[in-house]
Amino acid sequence: MSTVVDKSQAGLTARQYHVGLEPGEVSSVALLPGDPFRVPLVAEFLTGVREVAWRREHRTMTGWYKERLITATSTGMGCPSTAIAVEELARVGVRSFIRVGSSAGLQPGIAPGDLLVSEGSFRNDGTTDAYLPKGFPAVPDLELTTTLARHASRIAEAAGTRSHTGISVSDDAFYAETPEWIGELNRMGILNVEMEASALYVVARLRGLRAGMVCACSSNLVEGASLYDESNAALKDGWMRSIEAALDTAVELQL
């Protein structure tokens, strides 16, 4: 008998090693900010909030929004930790995922604080290569994404800002993004760059789950506009609008 561990079967009914959760502690839908300190921003919209677990970069809170139970779990930065979070959350009962967070615009006219809804991700990461060949696309759930885009547009318009939809790119190396690479992404028509969506989409597709993403624009890399200072009210306002769009989508689709 083989003694090689099959990770696809290990720990399926146990408390999960990285996120620290077990079945019964989460809802069927999870909002996924990257930063554990942004999980409480989701909780500001919820009632009956409970912090369930916090291990490493993965912090989880649950609460109610418009009579629907919502889970919020931070993924940490990048595709490796995002893939782990999605795999383990799926094992304990989450079936739908909406990433909310920050992303940099790559096209003119995208202002810091605008909302960015991803229609697919250019897989410029290494994690998804371990799952599938490069030719396999990283795409979100269609119905979830169109609903997310509609709510994002409504919420942004009411706030006097804008929302945008398009293809995003998931990069692995934040400080390796040279002006030449940013220019190439711009010429390809890529809307925005972040670090997690491709893993979210690929894992969700392989596991029969639903996934989407709406982010707040933190900077525009082709126009030199930046709100990376998190004390800036416009960026936090963008985060809150992205969370509201995600929550309203979860309620409408009964995720």
pLDDT score, position 12: 84
Cα separation, 79 vs 125, whole angstroms: 7
Q: How confident is the model at residue 234 (pLDDT cuts 50, 70, 90)?
A: confident
Q: Is the pLDDT at 120 greater than 90, yes or no?
A: yes
CB count within 10 Å of CB 49 equals: 16
Cα separation, 88 vs 94, whole angstroms: 9
Task: Count Cα atoms within 13 angstroms, Cβ side, for 211.
Answer: 28
Assign domain 29-252 to its CATH superfamily.
Nucleoside phosphorylase domain (3.40.50.1580)
Cα separation, 188 vs 127, whole angstroms: 23
Q: Which two tokens stand for residue 149?
A: 């885009």
Largest CA distance in the chain: 64
Of the given ranges (40-49, 74-83, 105-114, 217-226), which has the lowest mean pLDDT? 217-226
Question: Among 182, 187, 215, which Cα is nearest to 200's?
Answer: 215
Q: How do residues 4-33 score in pLDDT, each as one tens digit?
A: 988 888 788 789 999 999 999 999 999 999
Let me know if 175 is exposed, middle or buried by CB neighbors in 10 A (0-12, 13-18, 19+): exposed
| Strand intervals (E) in 106-183 | 115-124, 163-171
pLDDT score, position 224: 82
**For residues 180-191, average pLDDT:** 98
CB 116 within 8 A of CB 222: no
Evaluated on CA atoms 223, 170, 70, 247, the torsion sign reads positive
**For residues 160-178, average pLDDT:** 96
Q: Where are the domains of the chain?
A: 29-252
pLDDT score, position 21: 97
Q: How confident is the model at residue 226 (pLDDT cuts 50, 70, 90)?
A: low
